[in-house]
């Protein structure tokens, strides 16, 4: 897995270093480019977590449970929420 944090931090530092640069009209500011790229990397960093959640839910068949009453429906929903909480906890530890 790519270590996005290293790149994100480097881009944020670059943005700080260049935030007071004078940029000619119609040119791209280095600071803005660094910030935009860091923001994009942060978004990309989250995608694998969502993919893990979707894959695990799909593999268990929890989404296919027949609703034979309220209890069965809640079991499926509770399982899915547990999977989301599991991966949310892992991403906060990193």
Question: Domain range holding 79?
Answer: 4-93
* 21: its two tokens: 């640069």
Smallest CA-to-CA distance from 76 within 86, 85, 84, 66 is with 66
pTM of the model: 0.46
Q: Give ∠ CA 33-50-65 in degrees, rounded to 5.
A: 160
pLDDT tens-digit map of 20-31: 888 887 787 888
Cβ atoms of 23 and 29 within 8 Å: the answer is yes
- What pLDDT, on the 0 to 100 scale, is given for residue 1? 45
* 56: its two tokens: 């695990």
pLDDT tens-digit map of 9-59: 888 998 899 888 888 877 878 888 888 888 888 887 776 776 777 777 767
Number of domains in the chain: 1
Cβ atoms of 53 and 83 within 8 Å: the answer is yes
**Residue 87 pLDDT level (bands cut at 50, 70, 90):** confident
């Amino acid at each position: 897995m790519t270590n996005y944090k290293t790149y994100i931090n480097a881009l944020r530092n670059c943005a700080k270093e260049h935030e007071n640069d004078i940029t000619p009209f119609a040119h791209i500011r280095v600071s803005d480019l660094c910030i935009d790229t860091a923001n994009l990397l942060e978004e990309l960093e989250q995608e694998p977590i969502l993919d893990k959640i979707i894959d695990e839910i799909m593999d268990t068949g929890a989404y296919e449970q027949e609703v034979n009453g309220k209890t069965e429906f809640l079991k499926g929903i509770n399982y899915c929420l547990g999977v989301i909480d599991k991966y949310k906890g892992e991403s906060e530890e990193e």
